[in-house]
Structure 1
Amino acid sequence: MKKTKKNGGIQLSLFDDWREITDNELICELTNKPTVSEEWTGEYRLERLFNSLTPHRRRIAMAAVELYKRRNTARDKRKTIHNSRDVFDIMQPLLCDLDNEEFWLMPLNQAGRVIDTVRTTMGGICNTPVDIRLIMRKLVEVAASTFIVIHNHPSGNIQPSTDDRRITEAIRRAAEIFRIHLHDHVIIGHNSYYSFSDEGIL
């Protein structure tokens, strides 16, 4: 790929492969800045990057990221879940950069293949409401044999709260009535996760 410098930035043609340039070069191109400060070295949160953009660029960037997440989610619906890491790989891009909690449902068929990924509720910084009736209705509608529930902790602390444990048990008991097995409850942090199944709670 040919790259040329223009006004301290990177001039790219429409068909250049963005994957061939570094994170810092991508940030420079997006923010229209000639250099990137040391604060961008290593891990960074998307909202920090978006806050440095003009309002117009921010809207375009956020729309592009949302479209990318939706396309990946549609692709991941074909996946078979073998372990909690598979769940994390699917859900982390959707949840890692949120400032609020969300609760998601992942119904699986008898072979463990993902039927759908559904956001059931959106909440605040520290919690999100969970309507067990909505979860059960969706599981019955898609004829799920088993399922996984997922939510995020914006703080990055992946340890389950007392409420997390309580709602997990309530969901498990409700699903038993329909003979649908709760396979796991995964809590997503920024770059890590907690699995109720791995910890022997389910």
Structure 2
Amino acid sequence: MENVLKVCDVKLTYKTKVKSSERPVIVLAEDVYRLLIDYVYDKEIIQYKECLKLILLNKAGKLLGVAHISEGGIDETSADIRIIMQAAILGNATRIILAHNHPSGSLKPSTVDNLLTERVKNAAKLFNITLLDHIIVTDSGYFSYLDEGRIL
């Protein structure tokens, strides 16, 4: 019984294989879109199923990485706030950008998209992390909450 009462040791490490000077800076929604289309989304499934990604940035806006959060069906995917925040915290991000694709090709955000944006924004604030944008991606364009004045 004595062993059960002991607190576990937790060791935190942060390993990176990329120098800060080599990291791209993300400034505009167009930068995010190019990153997603050129390097992240599989062109063969972008019209097939919805995938939620989280772009992790440091205070200087340099790209720390892109976390795959979830993959779903034709018109929805899971968006667990705890998984999103876990990725942001473990990735040492101070700024984040949500991104997901709409297989339908529609750039109009849904009510669920709007709710997710607000929930992530509020959760991130608790950890002094800023949600910079939520981008909806299609194979022919994007919608940016920031560009449309919907994230303040």
The letter for the 2-side match of 1:80 is V
Shift of 1:78: 2.2
User: Does structure 2 retain, via aligned residues, the 8 Å contact 1:96–1:188?
Assistant: no
Change (3 A) 1:173 1:95: farther
Match of 1:104 among 53, 59, 63: 53
Shift of 1:96: 4.6
Gaps of at least 5 residues in structure 2 are 1-21
Change (3 A) 1:95 1:199: farther
What's the CA shift string for 1:125-165, capped at 9, x where partnerless? 00101011011111111221111010000111111000000
Give the aligned partner of residue 89 of structure 1.
Answer: 34
* Poorly superposed stretches of 4+, deviation over 3 Å: none
User: Does structure 2 retain, via aligned residues, the 8 Å contact 1:96–1:154?
Assistant: no
What's the CA shift string for 1:20-71, capped at 9, x where partnerless? xxxxxxxxxxxxxxxxxxxxxxxxxxxxxxxxxxxxxxxxxxxxxxxxxxxx
What's the CA shift string for 1:147-184, capped at 9, x where partnerless? 10100001111110000000110010000100100000
Match of 2:109 among 145, 160, 165: 160
Deviates more, 1:89-98 or 1:125-134: 89-98
1:135 aligns with 2:98: no
The letter for the 2-side match of 1:100 is K
1:169-180 correspondence runs (5 A): 169-180=118-129
Change (3 A) 1:153 1:96: farther
Match of 2:66 among 105, 117, 122: 117
Shift of 1:113: 0.5
Match of 2:94 among 124, 145, 155: 145
Distance in 2, Cα, partners of 1:125 & 1:143: 32
Q: Specify the SS of the correspondent of 2:63.
A: coil
TM-score with structure 1 setting the length? 0.60
Distance in 1, Cα, partners of 2:144 & 2:42: 15
* Larger Rg, first or second structure (1 or 2): 1
Count of aligned pairs between the two proteins: 126
Structure with the bigger percentage of strand: 2
Q: Specify the SS of the correspondent of 1:107.
A: strand
What's the CA shift string for 1:81-121, capped at 9, x where partnerless? 01000000010241554200000000100110110111110
Distance in 2, Cα, partners of 1:153 & 1:95: 13
User: Does structure 2 retain, via aligned residues, the 8 Å contact 1:106–1:148?
Assistant: yes
Structure with the bigger percentage of helix: 1
User: Does structure 2 retain, via aligned residues, the 8 Å contact 1:148–1:185?
Assistant: yes
Q: Output the aligned Cα RMSD.
A: 1.3
Select the structure with the greater relative contact order (CA < 8 A; seq sep ≥ 6).
2
Distance in 2, Cα, partners of 1:190 & 1:97: 10
The letter for the 1-side match of 2:79 is V
Gaps of at least 5 residues in structure 1 are 1-76
